[in-house]
Structure 1
């Protein structure tokens, strides 16, 4: 997969709301304008891949508490030049959770989000054009260790909604109920 397939996936993705539709359009324009969109050396922003991990019955979602950002989030990370964003999401989810039962539910994009990453040491403020995929995992499998996170937990959808004040997470919770 390279830029062209990502563009096709973005063009085929149905937005959940007007806000996501704007982010899809902005991401398409970003990918078209920057051949190096998968590389974080671009400076202004780059493509990232994330995993919305659910239990097979869709009643639970797995979230990680990110050490640097001090927030509960879905697993994910930098593409670092890899244009196969679904593979990036799966790789990052495995690295951050240690789960081996992870399974990509679909090759289709689950969600698109653009968010600002604040200035940190020598890395300037920049945007993450985050492409998210739906994954399933066994909620009884034990987690591994990762230096990037302080905690990993399964939450009911209601617990996650109450814990996290994020329109982005709320949108994925809403999508989870009809996927």
Structure 2
């Protein structure tokens, strides 16, 4: 995994689009500076996660999945593995695992969006924060393969997404990208 210093450099290049994202960026930056194992699931107060915002080339649709455990519509993403070379690589791995899309291209090499959200307590882990680092990918085809982590997986237009979710962090990415 990338060093704290490298991740802090990436974070310093993020330009928040709103006050909520600015607060998330500040929190994540401080967290990474203080936590040597900022990505590790065994950092129980929280850890960085990696997500992929996937659109078609025309920017008219994005991929969302209905998450089984959380029971909400979100972008593909998840935990960073120790073997991941970078947050961008973790984001790509999660995208491919959760969508079956093999040919994804980064739209921009830098971090696209950041978000902090609470994960409820479960049998095996306490309530904690996911500090989500998001990268924007373009898919060269629209053939999806659902994983066991999702109830549904589909391409949706801006209007369709706005009808099925009130999750501000998802809607923020819609506003940043979809026509």
TM-score (norm 1): 0.94
Q: Deviations over 1:98-153 (max 9, x none)?
A: 1112212121111000000001112110000000000111343x222411112110
Paired position in structure 1 for 2:127: 125
- The C-alpha deviation readout for 1:143-174, integer Å capped at 9, x for no partner, is 22411112110000111112111111111111
Counterpart-to-counterpart distance in 2, 1:108 and 1:51: 12
Take 1:88 and 1:19, find their aligned partners in 2: how far apart are those partners? 24
**Residues 1:85 and 2:100 are matched in the alignment:** no
Contact 2:61 2:178 in 1 (8 A): no
Residue 42 of structure 2: SS of its match in structure 1? helix
1:62 CA displacement: 0.5
How far did 1:83 drift? Answer: 5.7
Q: Which residue does the alignment assign to 2:45?
A: 44
Residue ranges of structure 1 left out of the alignment (5+ in a row): none
SS of equivalent residue, structure 1 residue 49: strand
TM-score, length of structure 2 as denominator length:
0.94
Superposition pairs for residues 130-149 of structure 1, below 5 Å? Answer: 130-140=132-142, 142-149=143-150
Which has the higher mean CA deviation after the structures are superposed, 153-162 or 1-10?
1-10
Distance 1:18 1:107, change over 3 A: same
Contact map agreement 1:64 1:151 (CA 8 A) in 2: yes
- Deviation string 1:27-79 (CA, Å, 9 cap, x unpaired) is 00000000011101010100000000001000001001111111111000101
Q: CA RMSD of the aligned region, Å?
A: 1.4
Looking at structure 2, the residues matched to 48 and 69 of structure 1 have their Cα atoms a distance apart, in angstroms, of: 15
* Aligned: 1:57 with 2:40: no
